[in-house]
Chains A and B, each alone.
Chain A
Amino acid sequence: MDLATLLFWIIAIILVGSALLVVGMRNIVHSALALVVLFGMASGIYLLLNAEFIAIVQILIYAGAVTILILFALMLTRTNNISTNSNPTNRQWWLAAIISTLVGAAIIFAVTLSQYSTVHAGSGVAYGTSACALPPNNVVYIGQLLYSPTCYSYVLPFEIASLVLLVAIVGAIVIGRED
């Protein structure tokens, strides 16, 4: 077992464990803190997959911004029984458990055992040559792919995503405003 496989198993076990803590803790603030561990471990998985830019963005946006948003929303919607059981399940939780188990079993069957499974996929080549000169690292390469004016790039989806963010900011302010 090489180092990457060992790291993968450690990170994957912590990742699944913290995901179980997110849905299983009785205090919802503890669930939000387990979510921070989950985001950090997911960025470790991205580092294993040669995706440095996504790993940093994951820590900046998810562990930084989204968790703070969730914690602020928890503080603003504080109910009086925050310490006893502030994260209850509804009456159909057994149905939800059955549905999610079936969905997970179907996906795992599809990717491992079925005749369309991905056992013939390649064994991990990183990015190769493009029309531009080969960039020094992943961040520069993604930067070229996102907004290079001359090479093949994703400029139009990038601009549309920025428009989506602008609309979301204005919408959040308008919806959350006190009248």
Chain B
Amino acid sequence: MLTLNHFLVLGALLFCIGLYGALAKRNAIAVLMGIEVMLNAVNVTMVGFSFFNTVKPYSTYLTGQIFAIFIITVAAAEAAVALAVVISIYRKRSTVDVGEINLMKW
């Protein structure tokens, strides 16, 4: 018998693994991969809430799934812009190490 807690705990596990990847990695693209894992964890949680929702006016409008669609849209835009930034920095500095990218440090 699946309950909502299964999906919430799964989303929490995925979220903290992605958070570790985003915080601990030196390669900027690995940081982006951690952020993608975190966004997927939030999507799992949203779709789980949408499936187990019984509150009447909201469960008929599938609010969680619509929310997940907008998260996917924004994640695609974020990936495109962030990878363009990474490639642009690589052209100027020849590195993708986030510890060495200090253009805005005073």
A positions within 8 Å CB-CB of B: 2, 4-5, 8, 12, 15-16, 19-20, 22-23, 28, 31-32, 35, 38-39, 42, 45-46, 48-51, 53-54, 57-58, 61-62, 65-66, 69-70, 72-74, 76-77, 79, 86-90, 92-93, 95-97, 99-101, 103-104, 107-108, 111-112, 117-119, 121-130, 141-142, 145-146, 152, 154, 157, 161, 164-165, 167-169, 171-173, 175-176, 178
Of the A-B pairs whose beta carbons lie under 8 Å apart in the complex, a sample of 20, sorted by A's number, is A16-B14, A19-B14, A19-B18, A22-B37, A23-B30, A28-B30, A46-B47, A53-B65, A61-B76, A73-B83, A89-B26, A92-B23, A96-B23, A112-B5, A121-B54, A122-B52, A126-B51, A129-B60, A146-B69, A175-B81
B positions within 8 Å CB-CB of A: 1-10, 12-21, 23-27, 29-30, 32-34, 36-37, 40, 43-44, 47-48, 50-54, 56, 59-62, 65-66, 68-70, 72-81, 83-88, 90-91, 95-96, 98-99
